[in-house]
Amino acid sequence: MSTLEPWDVFRQEKDGDPMRHGGSVMAPDAELAVHYARELFGRRQESVRLWVVRRADVLDLDDPDLLQPPLDRSFKKPGGYVMRDKLAAARRASGQPKPRARPG
């Protein structure tokens, strides 16, 4: 009797969609894993493509040093450089009041 191992199934609902994790199946080999995946994620035509991957073959990157960028690039993120806060600080430093909204 073979030992069962987990296989992760990624599915695509329609052409052009990204592949998404659909779930996992337990199987002793690739052939049975594909059969189980087809039964669970394809029998009602809810998927146009399946990827079946042995979980042991997935590389896990959990080292924080590998996941952090080498340089600070927060200015490229939408919230990384907030001009409103810098303008308010400059206005306070100069002693000028906040300008009023123009009448529409």
pLDDT band at residue 89 using 50, 70 and 90 as cut-offs: confident
| Cα distances (angstroms) measured from residue 46 to each of 15, 27, 52 | 12, 22, 16
pLDDT band at residue 11 using 50, 70 and 90 as cut-offs: very high
**pTM, to two decimals:** 0.59
In the chain, the domains with their CATH numbers are 5-57 (3.10.20.520)
Helices and strands of the chain, counted as H and E runs = 3, 3
* Residue 80: exposure state from Cβ atoms within 10 A (0-12, 13-18, ≥19): exposed
Structure confidence by residue, pLDDT tens digits, 18-28: 999 999 999 99
Structure confidence by residue, pLDDT tens digits, 42-62: 888 888 999 999 999 988 877
